[in-house]
Amino acid sequence: MKKILTLLLIYLLYGCLHAQKLRIIDKKATRETKALYKNLRKLSKQHILFGHQHATEYGHGWSGDHDRSDVKSVTGSHPAVIGVDFSGFSGRPDDAVGRAKEALKKNVIDTYNRGGVTTVAWHFSNPVSRGGFYWVDSLSLPAVKYIIPGGQAHQNYKNLLKGIAEWANSLKGADGKSVPMIFRPFHEFDGGWFWWGKPHCTREEFISLWRFTVSYLRDSLNVHSFIYSFSPDNKFKTEAQFLERYPGDEWVDMVGMDNYGDMGRNRYDLDTAALKLRIVSDYARKAGKLAAFTETGLESIPNPTWWTETLLKVVRADPKMRLCYVLVWRNDQRSATHYYAPYPGHSSVPDFLKFYEDPYTLFENDLKNIYNKKNK
């Protein structure tokens, strides 16, 4: 009897620990945010959601049209995941910031009301120098050390976060509920092209910035509708390299990777791309996190079978891999060549329709009650 009780206690303790791993890092997260987190995990066992940056804001040759996306024009459905950006929330006059917030508010609420998912990047202008969000040798200052706790511009950074919090907490869907979002700040931090990149701050400074950002939004400003996503570029080949600037499991809900280079931009190295995604997915499963292919794509899509012969092969390379979504970059409204999803008449449309029809991929029309815990 004593042995049985001991084994039962071990089993219960293991179950409690395992359940703890599956929890979102915000204990006060809204019911809808928790449901989204859990349903993304469920769906990733057999599917992947397709995403497109700025899909419903503008596209190839158009901007601001109601309920339009290039993906919908081709398939009949919006992407399951819509990428947006907080870039317009700072670095410009107050009236322009106000207009940007209102336009984005409508976009995100509309996506929620349709049953889609929003992920938010943050290309924000250097808060202590000129140069925009890119690093410019002759202009940029290493802002991270200035805006973390103890830095000269820390209060300015807190003010930026207050603006984000007020905006996020003002978003209510048609059901009256707060709108959940996947928040993905400081992406591609292992490169040097952004001012928050690896050459411009120490590991300790970056981790301090990440932890303060999450803590201030969640614990001080009462934002409880964010799922926090950590996504370096593709410069790692081991788990240790991937986690070099990781702020800790208690500060991250989702791990991801941005990878254009292995997917045709610099080379076609599908085995390496899949290896890196396996590292992301394996860590997520071990740590109880979500995993995603947070950015990829091939500009202009010159390869007409890229969707099934490159992207689908990589995300399906290992049946044990669990990725909740893959997002391709934007379709510029003015550029004739800067686009990453097909539009009507593009040469990759037939292959994209095969990608769309594959049972593994999910688009917005495929999602049912993703903000409800009882989702089937």
The CATH number that applies at residue 52 is 3.20.20.80
Whether 15 maps to a domain, the answer reads no
Cα–Cα distances in angstroms (integers) from residue 64 to residues 10, 61, 107, 181, in the given order: 57, 11, 10, 21
The pLDDT assigned to 21 comes to: 62
Whether 256 maps to a domain, the answer reads yes
The pLDDT assigned to 374 comes to: 74
Whether 355 maps to a domain, the answer reads yes
The pLDDT assigned to 170 comes to: 98
Residue 244: domain span = 31-366
Whether 13 maps to a domain, the answer reads no
Please write down the long-range contacts of 264-272, taking CB distance under 8 Å and 24 or more positions apart. 264/298, 264/303, 264/306, 264/310, 265/298, 265/299, 268/310, 270/310, 270/313, 270/314, 270/317, 271/317, 272/237
Whether 371 maps to a domain, the answer reads no
Q: Which residues of the chain have pLDDT under 70?
A: 1-22, 375-376
The pLDDT assigned to 3 comes to: 43
pLDDT in tens, 137-183: 999 999 999 999 999 999 999 999 999 999 999 999 999 999 999 99
**What's the domain count of the chain?**
1
Whether 376 maps to a domain, the answer reads no
The pLDDT assigned to 22 comes to: 67
Whether 146 maps to a domain, the answer reads yes
The pLDDT assigned to 13 comes to: 45
Q: What is the pTM of this model?
A: 0.94
Whether 240 maps to a domain, the answer reads yes
